[in-house]
Amino acid sequence: MRKIAAAFFGIFIIFFAFPVLSSGLRDSYRDIPEPRLLYPVTDEIVLRGEPFLEFKWMNNYSNQIEYYELRLYKGYNMYASGLLLKERIPYPGHSFKVASDFFESGQVYTWSLIQVKTDGLKSDRSFNSFKVIK
Protein backbone atom coordinates (compact mmCIF):
# COMPACT_ATOMS: atom_id res chain seq x y z
CA MET A 1 0.00 0.00 0.00
CA ARG A 2 2.85 2.38 0.80
CA LYS A 3 4.47 1.67 -2.57
CA ILE A 4 1.23 2.52 -4.39
CA ALA A 5 0.81 5.74 -2.38
CA ALA A 6 4.44 6.68 -3.05
CA ALA A 7 3.98 6.00 -6.78
CA PHE A 8 0.84 8.18 -6.95
CA PHE A 9 2.59 10.91 -4.98
CA GLY A 10 5.53 10.80 -7.41
CA ILE A 11 3.23 10.98 -10.42
CA PHE A 12 1.33 13.88 -8.79
CA ILE A 13 4.56 15.82 -8.24
CA ILE A 14 5.90 15.19 -11.75
CA PHE A 15 2.74 15.91 -13.75
CA PHE A 16 0.84 18.43 -11.64
CA ALA A 17 2.66 20.18 -8.80
CA PHE A 18 6.01 20.83 -10.48
CA PRO A 19 4.61 22.44 -13.68
CA VAL A 20 2.14 24.58 -11.72
CA LEU A 21 4.71 25.78 -9.21
CA SER A 22 7.44 26.37 -11.77
CA SER A 23 5.15 28.44 -14.01
CA GLY A 24 4.12 30.51 -11.00
CA LEU A 25 7.75 31.23 -10.21
CA ARG A 26 8.53 32.07 -13.81
CA ASP A 27 5.62 34.54 -14.07
CA SER A 28 6.62 36.40 -10.92
CA TYR A 29 9.87 37.47 -12.59
CA ARG A 30 7.92 39.09 -15.42
CA ASP A 31 6.12 41.47 -13.07
CA ILE A 32 7.37 45.05 -13.07
CA PRO A 33 7.06 47.05 -9.85
CA GLU A 34 5.41 50.43 -10.10
CA PRO A 35 7.65 53.53 -10.08
CA ARG A 36 8.03 55.38 -6.78
CA LEU A 37 6.64 58.91 -6.85
CA LEU A 38 8.84 61.55 -5.21
CA TYR A 39 7.10 64.87 -5.95
CA PRO A 40 4.34 66.01 -5.72
CA VAL A 41 3.13 63.55 -3.10
CA THR A 42 1.49 65.90 -0.59
CA ASP A 43 -2.14 67.06 -0.43
CA GLU A 44 -1.38 70.68 -1.35
CA ILE A 45 1.21 72.21 -3.68
CA VAL A 46 2.04 75.92 -3.47
CA LEU A 47 2.97 77.38 -6.86
CA ARG A 48 3.24 81.09 -5.92
CA GLY A 49 6.14 82.54 -7.89
CA GLU A 50 7.15 79.16 -9.31
CA PRO A 51 7.55 79.01 -13.12
CA PHE A 52 6.73 75.31 -13.29
CA LEU A 53 5.77 72.21 -11.33
CA GLU A 54 8.28 69.39 -11.68
CA PHE A 55 6.97 65.85 -11.37
CA LYS A 56 9.70 63.55 -10.02
CA TRP A 57 9.92 59.80 -9.52
CA MET A 58 12.40 57.05 -8.83
CA ASN A 59 12.82 53.88 -10.82
CA ASN A 60 12.67 50.74 -8.67
CA TYR A 61 13.30 48.49 -11.66
CA SER A 62 15.86 49.60 -14.23
CA ASN A 63 16.03 46.40 -16.25
CA GLN A 64 15.00 47.01 -19.88
CA ILE A 65 12.70 50.00 -19.28
CA GLU A 66 11.84 51.71 -22.56
CA TYR A 67 9.74 54.64 -21.35
CA TYR A 68 7.45 56.06 -18.68
CA GLU A 69 3.89 57.19 -19.30
CA LEU A 70 2.81 60.19 -17.25
CA ARG A 71 -0.83 61.23 -17.18
CA LEU A 72 -2.37 64.27 -15.51
CA TYR A 73 -6.08 64.40 -14.70
CA LYS A 74 -8.35 67.14 -13.42
CA GLY A 75 -9.98 66.02 -10.16
CA TYR A 76 -9.57 62.83 -8.17
CA ASN A 77 -10.89 60.39 -10.77
CA MET A 78 -8.66 59.02 -13.51
CA TYR A 79 -11.24 58.95 -16.30
CA ALA A 80 -10.59 59.73 -19.96
CA SER A 81 -12.94 62.72 -19.70
CA GLY A 82 -10.65 64.32 -17.11
CA LEU A 83 -7.36 63.62 -18.91
CA LEU A 84 -5.43 66.86 -19.41
CA LEU A 85 -1.97 65.63 -20.32
CA LYS A 86 -0.41 62.38 -21.51
CA GLU A 87 3.35 62.24 -22.01
CA ARG A 88 5.70 59.45 -23.02
CA ILE A 89 9.06 60.05 -21.33
CA PRO A 90 12.00 57.99 -22.61
CA TYR A 91 14.14 56.09 -20.11
CA PRO A 92 16.23 57.16 -18.13
CA GLY A 93 14.14 60.32 -17.55
CA HIS A 94 13.07 60.76 -13.93
CA SER A 95 11.21 64.06 -14.06
CA PHE A 96 8.86 66.14 -16.18
CA LYS A 97 8.08 69.88 -15.93
CA VAL A 98 4.69 71.50 -16.50
CA ALA A 99 4.26 75.29 -16.60
CA SER A 100 2.51 76.77 -13.55
CA ASP A 101 0.07 78.60 -15.84
CA PHE A 102 -1.35 75.19 -16.79
CA PHE A 103 -2.83 74.79 -13.28
CA GLU A 104 -5.83 76.56 -11.74
CA SER A 105 -5.67 77.72 -8.13
CA GLY A 106 -7.88 75.69 -5.79
CA GLN A 107 -8.26 72.84 -8.28
CA VAL A 108 -7.41 69.22 -7.49
CA TYR A 109 -5.25 67.26 -9.93
CA THR A 110 -4.21 63.61 -10.03
CA TRP A 111 -1.08 62.38 -11.72
CA SER A 112 -0.26 58.79 -12.57
CA LEU A 113 2.85 57.08 -13.82
CA ILE A 114 3.62 53.64 -15.26
CA GLN A 115 6.84 52.19 -16.62
CA VAL A 116 6.93 50.10 -19.79
CA LYS A 117 9.58 47.52 -20.63
CA THR A 118 11.05 47.02 -24.09
CA ASP A 119 8.87 43.91 -24.54
CA GLY A 120 5.69 45.93 -23.89
CA LEU A 121 4.96 44.74 -20.34
CA LYS A 122 3.62 47.55 -18.15
CA SER A 123 3.92 48.13 -14.43
CA ASP A 124 1.09 48.87 -12.08
CA ARG A 125 0.12 52.52 -11.87
CA SER A 126 1.49 54.86 -9.20
CA PHE A 127 -0.68 57.89 -8.58
CA ASN A 128 -1.24 60.84 -6.27
CA SER A 129 -3.76 63.67 -5.99
CA PHE A 130 -2.93 67.23 -4.93
CA LYS A 131 -4.59 70.64 -4.65
CA VAL A 132 -2.89 73.64 -6.26
CA ILE A 133 -2.47 76.86 -4.25
CA LYS A 134 -1.33 80.00 -6.11
Q: Give the global pTM.
A: 0.76
So what's the pLDDT on residue 33?
87
Q: Mean pLDDT score of the chain, rounded to an integer? A: 86
Give the Cα separation of 71 and 3 in Å (integer).
62
As a whole number, mean pLDDT of residues 57-82 equals: 92
As a whole number, mean pLDDT of residues 28-43 equals: 85
Report pLDDT digits (tens) over 117-133: 999 999 999 999 999 99
Report pLDDT digits (tens) over 1-35: 666 655 665 665 566 555 555 555 545 455 788 99
Any bridge partners for residue 53, and if so which? Answer: 98
When pLDDT is cut at 50, 70 and 90, the band that residue 62 belongs to is confident
The residue type at 17: A
A 10 A CB-CB count for 130 gives 19
